[in-house]
Structure 1
Amino acid sequence: MSEVNQPLLNQDRGQISSSHRYPIKKEELSDFFQFDNIRDGSSLQKIEKLGSINGLSQALKTDLKQGIANESIVERIQTYGANERIEKQPKTFFELVVECLEDDTLRLLCGASFVSLVIGCIREGLAEGWIDGIGIFIAVFIIVTITSVNNYMKEQQFRRLNQIVAQRSVAVIRNGEISHISIYSLLVGDIMLFETGEVFPVDGILVKSNNLVCDESSITGESDPIKKYPIGIQDCNPAPFLISGSQVTEGSGEMIVLAVGQSSTIGKQQALMNEEEEEEKRTPLQYKLDVFVEQLGSIGFKWAILTFFVMFANLMYTIYSSNDPNVKLFSLDTVSEILDYFIVGITVVVIAVPEGLPLAVTLSLAYAVSRMMVENNLVRNLISCEIMGGADTICSDKTGTLTENQMKVKKLYALDQTYTDFERQQFDSKFLNLLTEGICVNTNAHISYEKYGIVQNGNKTECALLELAMDLNVSYTDFRPSDNIIKIIPFSSSRKRMSTVYIPKDNNNIVRVYSKGAPEIMFQYCNRYMTKNGQVEQIDQTFLKKLSEVQNQFANDCLRTLLLTYNELPSLNANQLSKEEELEKNLIVLGMIGIQDPLRKGIRQSVAVCTEAGVTVRMVTGDNLNTAVAIAKEAGIISQDYVPRANDYTVMEGKQFREKVGGLQQIKGDQGQIVRYEVGNMPAFKEVSKQLRVLARSAPEDKFLLVTGLQKCDSIVAVTGDGTNDAPALKKADIGFAMGITGTEVAKEAAGIILLDDNFSSTVTAIKWGRNIFDCIRKFLCFQLTINVVALFMAFLGGATVRESPLNTIQILWVNLMQDTMAALALATEPPSEELLKRKPVKRTEVVITPSMWKFILLQSIYQIFVLIIVLFYGDLIFGVEYGINNKTWTEQNGIHLTMFFNIFVFLSVFNEVNCRKLKASEVNVFENFFNNPLFIFIIVSTIGIQMLMVEYGGRAAKCSPLTLQQNLICVAIGASSVAAGILIKLLPPSVDEFLSCTNPFKERTQAVEEEEPQGDQKKTQ
């Protein structure tokens, strides 16, 4: 058996000569798999016109026994395309370094440091003149290296998380041999072999089968498996079309591959998901931070210019007012000093822009991802958990998400009464035999007993019926497999029923036809029913009324209804067996069952938590209206006393919803391509969406339509889904939740988060962590902005008064590197609290800096500035050290003053991290749960220790003098006073917030810019 493992994507795709062209086009093959064409039989008719399977294989130059020839591979790729999956190549480390060096401030800093190096060498010689210039180069090198490494690791993490669909191989026949090849190497014309459990990666037509049953629910939304037959099987209706994304639940077979890549059903779904998407989807928080950083950069640039000109003006005044003839305008010393001013100006810009902000975002996301995994949330896309913090709507599936997806028969209406307990002695023997025999032969599911209980395999509704039979001491294995089952008419989306023709073991003179389906479908095929004494009578209005009442009662009890029927016929010949309409008429109603899929534990509480958190839960299901309403009431999605009324849109059916809102409209570009999708009647949608909570009898497109409209209404939308038909809505939503147990691979690929337990309650976990991420970013911004305000003011003050910045370039770069990185790690790992679920979601247009945050930043900055001014101008007297300002030559002795200033500046910021743990004014006790985060404590202690080492060994390059233990402790004590200042600030009355909010430079512009930002899918198309 040969092995072929690599995708055939790099083959030479030369032009095909006319002698090798295929008579059937790619578009024609793709049309075979349009659902409407399959349902109305036109696809089958087209195959017959080609000469059935033999004619089709000849048109594709495929030998049904030998497969395709390797020599035809290039031609097939050129004609029909490859089954390829295109992925964006990650950036190399070198590209990330270059990208980092594109920062204008770093370039200017490098240029200025080069000039400083040249001038230093001229003035002081090669022995010491290189120190200042090279010191700045080293600082820039460290910043670029750390930033690039961080970005590279982030790129790799994104790539690993997004590669959910792993490579797998399939068996094909090529050149007469069975080969195992990658699914991405499949070509049109391949003869593919498959077995039970296979998920079709491409579309194809059945050639051979062995009791083949396929589950197409993930594609069509139909829950019941479908029996597949090749064309030409006697006495069987052909059902040869195998749809990509569907799964083989029973049997095996061979097929000819007809559609691959973007031409296949899955490919078309992916095309719908990828409508004009940007390379990287940005989140609401990223929009806010982009605007915020832009504002900080603008403020920093203006402040840098002002600082430079103040220092330059001070220098000019000194030169022209000096009587010293050695002080000249055009001298090397003056040029060097002006260059120092320029470097200080650039450094001011570096101060203004929070380099630690991207790191804080990444660390918060990475920490949240690791913790969410423990709570059954597998995050495929890091930004999804951040977006969830602002989600205000969840569109949830019912089956398997709100419910357990473990069906159980709860009620049976038969023999003129309703049964809730199922004991053999309760039933007439004739009825019991017909009921159990019909259940066993007219199902395809299997159940088995494992160590931990019953395991259901196949359709869950049929599994519930088989459990009912077992409760009545009858095993389905006594009836199948069996030669007595002479015909099965499988369930399909158009028929909505399943029938089986069976020869009873105890009576070979008759055949029985068993049929089951939705009551509203089955009624039209029934004319009799079995009475309580086991007799058969004609259906009358009294019976129909009673059955309708029971059906409504079952639905109100959250039960799915199914009508079981049968008929007895004389022995049938082959001609009679082929006439389905004759077999499924004059049926006898045996009974109606009510099947329950119970709610998962804690669902009602989870919905209540979402409601309290300002998140609207909407249920989108294919169930009938009554059942959907009953489940929604039980889950708390709608109130228990809900009663429909005129012009009420709380509960709607899919068809009614589509008609009301105008359906989904395609917006096409200049070349006729689909650019995006929009709601046909947006005003009507806004009216409906305010009330809509339950959408019943919904088609897959309805969920996509609902998500599209909600995003246009400026909502941040989360969607849960498990099937391939849910993939477009999962991709379209701001956050898609795929089911980890029952979800298809396509659904998982489209989603940003996978629920490992298929439980709606796990979405609450995502909300909590998403909001915590936003809080962590705000905490870091409080910390960072305080540093920026203080550093900018002190740089300006020093330039204006003493013509020297008290913090030199190396020190500022050190603060940016160490403080930003360590603080980002400390504040990004703060665990979430339950209080997060008691407030409303963060809206797209909400500002990043709130009034209370701005009050804290401003007043804390004023306090720190006050302390630093005293240290700057009176520190020499207070600490008993030499005055350290305006010394032409730096020494360890005269450098102690400004070293202590540098230390105090750092320690004020370090202890301010403790304040930033608690943002709300009511959270006065900043030490609450302080020991719940050991990493935070470790970082605080480590930062103090590393700062002391920097001071001890920084030397001339950093202009840091070694300090005594007493001097270090004094600096730590003064720095710790920022905690007390923070507590006092929080005790100020709320009126101070309102008074100071008018000074917030970030408030109005952030709102204005965010209102201009495109929302929802507008981001992808504008």
Structure 2
Amino acid sequence: MSLRFRKPNEPEICDHEHSLLALAKLQKRRWRLAFDVIRFTRALASLSKIALDSNKQILRSLSYVAIDIGRALPHDDAGVNFLDIDQKILTTMVKQKNFESLSNLGGVKQVAAILGTDEKNGVPGNEAQLLHRTNVFGKNCYKKPDAKSFLSFVYEALKDTTIIILLVCAILSLAFGIKEDGLKEGWYDGSSIIFAVFLIVIVSAVSNFKQNRQFEKLSDESGDIKVEVVRDGRRQAASIFEVVVGDTVCLKIGDQILTDGLFLNGYSLKVDESSMTGESDHVEINGRENPFLLSGTKVTDGYGSMLFTSVGMKTAWGEMMSSISRDLDEQTPLQVRLKKMTSYIGKIGLTVAVMVLLVMLICYFTGNTTDERGDREFNCDKSDEERMAKIDKISVMARSSPFDKLLMVQCLKQKGHVVAVTGDGTNDAPALKEADIGLSMGIQGTEVAKESSDIIILDDNFSSMVTVLRWGRCDYNNIQKFIQFQLTVNVVALVINFIAAVSSGDVPLTAVQLLWVNLIMDTLGALALATEQPTNQLMTKPPVGRSAPLITKVMWRNLVAQALYQVIVLLILQFNGRSIFSVDEKIKNTLIFNTFVFCQIFNEFNARILEEKNIFKGLHKNKLFIGIVGTTLILQVLMVEFLNNFANTKRLNLEQWGVCVCIAAMSWLIGWLVKWIPVSAK
């Protein structure tokens, strides 16, 4: 039911309509009786909540229950029943900016009276009243996409092309193995591959699931904005999730309007409605012509106060948000380069694998077998050339407009720089959004600035910027360490198997062994190298440009030296291992596999520090690294000594274990020697 107030020029009821008036009064009494019943029911619900929240019991006798509804709804607000309000009328009126509908309701002040809001004192601030408003008009929160379940991440991991290929190969291996060797012995290889794939999928899914949960938690925290509302005649901070219809809030430049509402008072208030209407012109808000304020818009000038008329999904912003979903797939420059490099490595690996397969098939059938474009265009070429020539020399740019800041960021990005921008005002928003990394202040920063930034410094301490920079450089350096380490593993494995397949038609490292190496090196190795803490030395290095190579000359020097040493040693074992150690073929292959794994374990220490010669510096501070290396050693012993059928290995004696460890330990000496070779750090 909705209430339409009489217009000032509307004639009163005539005397001859007394009978109709009496009937109307009778109907009104009936409606009042119905309202009392509804009000009592709501009061009972509110009182029960208060009792439950305070852990107090309601005293009762055997024959009746005594309830004091005055505690649930105070007498000073007993007349606010909200039965005369149609929420749809309020929502449509503000959304469509229907001034006629507002006039029919009696104007802004009359709407405030209907909502039980005092223009100066706001609404009553007791918990029961606020809960009553929430129950009637809803809560100020928006529907978010359902959180992805763990199984959805498992499914995404299974869709990976490499995983699908491995599963197909595992099924084929299982089928051919059972056909050739029978069920008792033939299931080992295929089942081992399936188990290894299962581990890879589970580890990947767990990691992505945890990251997603952390992101959701951070998103909820960053969305909990504090606003200044007036309740019981006092200004007080409240969470945006706790505001209710009828609240009044103070607005100033830079504030984001978070609900639909009406203008109460203020001076020269203007808002940017481009996020809702697409129009770039700022709209003036006043009580005479346009008192309507839409959620999702931003205050660009003036100040004022507004009355909340709709919250949550009933607002214009809520309706729009319900029809769209967030795009979280935007990638940073580093992610783009890593994805590109990973694609290249995958293509090279696939090519080598296909070549090995072809060689082995030939050997098998012939019987020869043994065991954005980012450039910006300006109107004036001359000014463009001068600007680009001077941009790197600018240290201070005073009294600059938002366009000047935006132009500077665009020019720096054109020249290949990775640009970071800090700001706290609304005029900083364009530059913050355009920059590769935007940083805003959490306390003094406006909502517009925070919305446009990538990182929010919660304590407003400028020294925290240094912390952000240290950790950013540390993450980049750790990624480089892992790339060097992982490329060494892949290069050695590909070269060894390719040369062995071409020369003898057989490969020393089986599919299960390679999967095992990739599992422990990709997962545990990445975790070990990614947990290195930032050092002061990182701050002495110049920043890395957008076009700078991800793999530096220093990394190539270290990588080539280690890969060359491992390939030479493993090829010697491949072609002369049986005669050197007087062992059979399976022991020889186990020696190759074990030496290969231990070479990676020792090389993990080399990868900790790319340039310095002391690879043990700060090792005692990284307990996780030590723990991961220890875990890897234990798992490798289990693979060689106890999981022979699974890993296609054979037990080694103490002397053979010593040989594997000694050969692998030489990588420390190789790493120390090559660091004496001077190369450019670029």
Matches within 5 A, 1:557-596: none
1:939, CA displacement in angstroms? 2.5
Q: Kindly indicate which of the two structures has a greater share of residues assigned to strand.
A: 1
Give yes or no for the alignment of 1:813 onto 2:502: no
Q: Aligned pair 1:983/2:668, yes or no?
A: no
Q: Does residue 841 of structure 1 match 2:543?
A: yes
Equivalent residue, structure 2, for 1:773: 475
Encode CA deviations 1:349-390: one digit per residue, 9 max, x unaligned.
xxxxxxxxxxxxxxxxxxxxxxxxxxxxxxxxxxxxxxxxxx
In the other structure, the counterpart of 1:305 is 354
1:794 aligns with: 496
Counterpart of 1:689 in 2: which secondary structure? helix
Counterpart-to-counterpart distance in 1, 2:598 and 2:198? 25
Match of 1:958 among 627, 647, 656: 647
> Does the Cα contact within 8 Å between 1:113 and 1:134 map onto a contact in 2?
yes
Q: Kindly tell me: are residues 681 and 124 of structure 1, through their superposed partners in 2, closer, same or farther at Cα, counting changes over 3 Å?
A: same
Deviation by residue 1:735-760 (Cα, 9 ceiling, x = unmatched): 22222333345544443323244232
Alignment of 1:142-157 (within 5 A): 142-157=199-214
Cα distance in 2 between the residues matched to 1:989 and 1:57 = 79
Query: For 2:223, what is the secondary structure of its paired residue?
Result: coil
Given the alignment, which residue of 247, 259, 269 partners 1:192?
247
Distance 1:724 1:761 in 2: 22
Post-superposition Cα deviations, 1:75-122, rounded to whole Å, max 9, x if no partner, equal: x99xxxx97657555433222222212222222221222122222223
Q: Distance in 2 between matches of 1:240 and 1:104?
A: 53
Tell me the TM-score normalized by structure 2. 0.68
Letter in 2 for 1:126: L
Deviations 1:404-458 (A, max 9, x none): xxxxxxxxxxxxxxxxxxxxxxxxxxxxxxxxxxxxxxxxxxxxxxxxxxxxxxx
- The alpha-carbon distance between structure 1 residues 777 and 933, as it changes in their structure 2 partners (threshold 3 A), is same
Match of 2:127 in 1: none
Report the Cα offset of residue 877 of structure 1. 3.1
Rounded to whole Å, the distance in 2 between the matches of 1:701 and 1:62 is 44
In structure 2, the residue matched to 1:55 is 107
Q: Which residue of 1 aligns with 2:606?
A: 915
Q: Distance in 2 between matches of 1:194 and 1:907?
A: 66
| Pair 263,713 (structure 1): closer, same or farther in 2 beyond 3 Å | farther
**How far apart are 1:728 and its partner, in Å?**
4.7
Give the 3 Å change call, closer, same or farther, for CA 293–242 of structure 1 in structure 2. Answer: closer
**Counterpart of 1:192 in structure 2: which amino acid?**
D
Which amino acid letter does the alignment assign opposite residue 107 of structure 2? G
Asked if structure 2 preserves the Cα contact closer than 8 Å seen for 1:868 and 1:905, the reply is: yes
- Asked whether the equivalents of residues 787 and 909 of structure 1 are also in contact (C-alpha less than 8 Å), the reply is yes
1:822-837 to structure 2, matched below 5 A, reads 822-837=524-539
CA deviation map 1:940-992 (0-9, x unaligned):
233222211221111212112222333323211111111111222222354xx
Aligned position for 2:580: 878
Match for 2:609: what amino acid? K
Q: Give the SS at the match of 1:191.
A: coil
Structure 2 distance, partners of 1:915, 1:788, is: 16
How far apart, CA to CA, are the structure 1 residues paired with 2:417 and 2:627?
A: 40
1:7 is matched with which residue? none
Q: Structure 2 counterpart of 1:98, which letter?
A: Y
Match of residue 903 from structure 1: 594
Per-residue CA distance 1:859-912 (angstroms, 9 max, x = gap): 22111111111222222333342x21xxxxxxxxxx322212211111111111
Structure 1 residue 288 and structure 2 residue 337: aligned? yes
- Report the counterpart of residue 456 of structure 1 in structure 2: none
Alignment of 1:523-602 (within 5 A): none
SS in 1 for 2:164: helix
Is the CA contact 1:206–1:240 (under 8 Å) kept in the aligned structure 2? yes
C-alpha separation in 2, matches of 1:928 and 1:21: 67
Name the structure 1 match of 2:78: none
CA contact (8 A) 2:248 2:308 kept: no
> What is residue 850 of structure 1 aligned with on the other side?
552
Of structures 1 and 2, the one scoring higher in RCO (CA 8 A, sep 6+) is 1
Asked if 1:158 is matched to 2:215, the reply is: yes
119, 122, 125: which one aligns with 2:176: 119
CA distance in 2, matches of 1:713, 1:257: 48
Q: Distance in 2 between matches of 1:263 and 1:686?
A: 49
Task: Give the Å deviation of 1:779.
Answer: 1.0
**Contact 1:952–1:962 (CA under 8 A) maintained in structure 2:** yes
Q: Pick from 92, 95, 98: which aligns with 2:149?
A: 92
Residue 195 of structure 2 is matched in structure 1 by 138
Task: Write the distance in 1 (CA, Å) between the matches of 2:515 and 2:384.
Answer: 52
Q: What is the TM-score normalised by the length of structure 1?
A: 0.47
> CA offset at residue 790 of structure 1?
0.8
Q: In the alignment, which of 763, 783, 802 is matched to residue 465 of structure 2? A: 763
* Residue pair 1:217, 1:723 contacting (<8 A) in 2 also: no
Shift of 1:214: 13
Structure-2 separation of matches of 1:266 and 1:733: 27
SS in structure 2 of the partner of residue 155 of structure 1: helix
Describe how 1:259-298 pairs up with structure 2 within 5 A: 279-298=328-347
Residue identity matched to 2:589: L
Counterpart in 2 of 1:740? 442
RMSD: 5.1
Amino acid at match of 1:137: I
> CA–CA distance in 2 between the matches of 1:314 and 1:278?
51
Contact 1:768 1:832 in 2 (8 A): yes
Whether the 8 Å CA contact 2:294–2:317 is kept in 1: the answer is no
**Kept in 2: contact 1:218–1:722 (CA 8 A):** no
| Residues 992-1015 of structure 1 deviation map (CA, whole Å, 9 limit, x = unaligned) | x89xx9xxxxxxxxxxxxxxxxxx
Report if aligned partners of 1:204, 1:258 keep a CA contact under 8 Å in 2.
Answer: yes
Cα 1:113/1:969, change in 2 over 3 Å: same
Question: Is residue 174–residue 186 contact of structure 2 (8 Å, CA) maintained in 1?
Answer: yes
- State which drifts further: 708-717 or 774-783: 708-717
User: What secondary structure, in the 3-state scheme, does the structure 1 residue paired with 2:114 have?
Assistant: coil
Amino acid at match of 1:767: L
**Match of 1:815, SS?**
helix
Instruction: Give, in whole Å, the separation in 2 of the partners of 1:684 and 1:981.
Output: 50
CA distance in 1, matches of 2:307, 2:383: 43
Q: Aligned pair in 2 of structure 1 residues 276, 711: CA closer, same or farther (>3 Å)? A: farther
| Residue type of the alignment partner of 2:618 | N
Corresponding position of 2:570: 868
Supply the AA of the counterpart residue of 2:660.
Answer: C
> Partner residue of 1:101?
158
Letter in 1 for 2:95: K
**Residue of 95, 102, 124 corresponding to 1:26:** 95
Instruction: Report the more deviating stretch, 89-98 or 196-205.
Output: 196-205
**Alignment partners' CA distance in 2, 1:264 and 1:941:** 57
Query: Which amino acid in structure 1 is aligned with residue 246 of structure 2?
Result: I
Superposed displacement of residue 696, structure 1? 3.7
Q: Residue 260 and residue 684 in structure 1: after superposition, are their counterparts in 2 closer, same or farther (change >3 A)? A: farther
- Tell me the CA shift for residue 61 of structure 1: 11
Question: 1:868 and 1:708, CA in 2 relative to 1: closer, same or farther beyond 3 A?
Answer: same
One-letter amino acid of the counterpart of residue 105, structure 1? T
Contact 1:191/1:255 (CA < 8 Å) preserved in 2? no
When residues 213 and 305 of structure 1 are mapped into structure 2, their CA distance, relative to the original with a 3 A threshold, is same
951-960 or 687-696, larger mean C-alpha shift: 687-696
SS for the counterpart of 2:549 is coil
Distance 1:698-1:315 versus aligned 2 partners, 3 A rule: same
Q: Identity over aligned residues, as a percent? A: 36
Structure whose residues are more often helix by fraction: 2
Instruction: Work out the CA distance in 1 between the residues paired with 2:104 and 2:399.
Output: 37
Aligned residues: 552
The alpha-carbon deviation at position 852 of structure 1 amounts to: 2.8
SS at match of 1:983: helix
2:307 to 252, 256, 278: 256
Gaps of 5+ in 2: 1-42, 50-85, 124-133, 232-237, 274-285, 372-377
